[in-house]
Structure 1
Amino acid sequence: MPAIKSLDDLFLNTLKDIYFAERRILQALPKMAKAAQSDALAEGFMLHRDQTKEQIERLKQVFEAIGKRPAGVTCEAIQGLIAEGEELLEDAKEPSPVRDAGLIACAQAIEHYEMARYGALVAWAKASGKSDVVALLQATLDEEKKTDALLNTMANRKINPMAVREAA
């Protein structure tokens, strides 16, 4: 990682981090959808895959706006969160509401990471006068928050109660 000496350096490094992360998430979402027992959950993962494609395009626009070529830096955090999801699938081999509850928890961990990154990027863009990219980053932050809320609702209203009944 290059030395970070300014807010612009920090912004660029974090932008590269989330660019890498979004591309890895794009690869993971179809696997999560395939692993889900709930059709609604699988559909939600595939909808988020489509959103993630748009988010990657927005990130490319941000890179262009700041005069940089789109590039990622390895994001160990997202690698670890995706690995946790893969471990869940190894430990809960059969499709079930319990496995779906675990998939939701893993997806929310990823969403929370993304919300933290996009929140910081929005704040830094505002602070450093990058008004041309604030709307792009804010649009993605809003989508991530909405996805998190939808996952939470799905878990609390349907998946978690089904998982409790299954275990009884």
Structure 2
Amino acid sequence: MPTSKSAHGSARRPAHRSDSHGHMNSTRFSELFMEELKDIYWAEKNLLKAIPKMQKATTSDELTHAMDEHLEETKHHVMRLEEIFEIMGKKPQTKKCEAMEGLMMEAQVFLDDTEADSMVRDAGIIISMQKIEHYEIATYGCLRTLANVMGHADVAELLEQTLEEEKHTDSLLTEIAESTVNEEAAAE
């Protein structure tokens, strides 16, 4: 941990506090966790609007079903995040996620620029969804690690559940792309 020097030249450490389990947490570390939590909360809430738009544009029944399943999971992700805010003693709050907004805008531009009822569009939707999934996987993995460091095993467990669902969706999208969509799109 970085130290700073006082006016007398002696090193002083940032303020820490211990939780009931004896884990040391700096206030800034906790703030980092909360800021990232607000960020992914915004992302998940906005995905509840974006997924149906992409889903309506799909041609493949298999992809439509996978997106429907993930939409239901996303509703649970939002509820888990709200539970985490409660555990942390905070009111659920969002902070605009610039990265997710960019990924969703990119997906919308792709939809606008491709013709309907096309497997090429489905291939692009899968790419867009996997970019989103990879962002979520990275975020949930980091948040889980931070929660563990802070000694919040209950929070880490909730984050792990969501992380595993995101990984499953990513794998399912890969399977759909490789089993049918990419071949059919290449043949168009």
TM-score range relative to shorter protein: over 0.9
The one-letter amino acid paired with 1:51 is E
Equivalents in 2 of 1:78, 1:95: separation in Å? 26
Equivalents in 1 of 2:118, 2:54: separation in Å? 13
Q: Kindly indicate whether residue 105 of structure 2 is the aligned counterpart of residue 76 of structure 1.
A: no
Higher strand fraction (1 or 2): 2
Number of equivalent positions: 163
Equivalents in 1 of 2:47, 2:157: separation in Å? 22
The one-letter amino acid paired with 2:89 is G
Higher helix fraction (1 or 2): 1
Shift of 1:110: 0.3
Equivalents in 2 of 1:100, 1:76: separation in Å? 25
Shift of 1:5: 6.0
Give TM-score, length-normalised by structure 2: 0.85
| Structure 2 residue corresponding to 1:24, chosen from 23, 32, 46 | 46
Q: What's 1:157 paired with?
A: 179
Shift of 1:93: 2.7
| Structure 2 residue corresponding to 1:10, chosen from 12, 21, 32 | 32
Q: What's 1:57 paired with?
A: 79
Aligned-residue sequence identity (percent) comes to 45
The one-letter amino acid paired with 1:17 is D
Give TM-score, length-normalised by structure 1: 0.95
| Structure 1 residue corresponding to 2:164, chosen from 118, 138, 142 | 142
RMSD (Å), alpha carbons:
1.1
Answer yes or no: is the 8 Å Cα contact 1:101–1:155 preserved in 2.
yes
| Structure 1 residues not aligned, in runs of 5+ | none
Stretches (4+) displaced over 6 A = none
Q: What's 2:122 paired with?
A: 100
Answer yes or no: is the 8 Å Cα contact 1:78–1:110 preserved in 2.
yes
Higher relative CO (CA 8 A, sep ≥ 6), structure 1 or 2? 1
SS in 2 for 1:6: helix
Q: What's 1:39 paired with?
A: 61
| Structure 2 residues not aligned, in runs of 5+ | 1-25
Deviations 1:108-138, CA, capped at 9 Å, x for gaps: 0000000010000000001110112111000
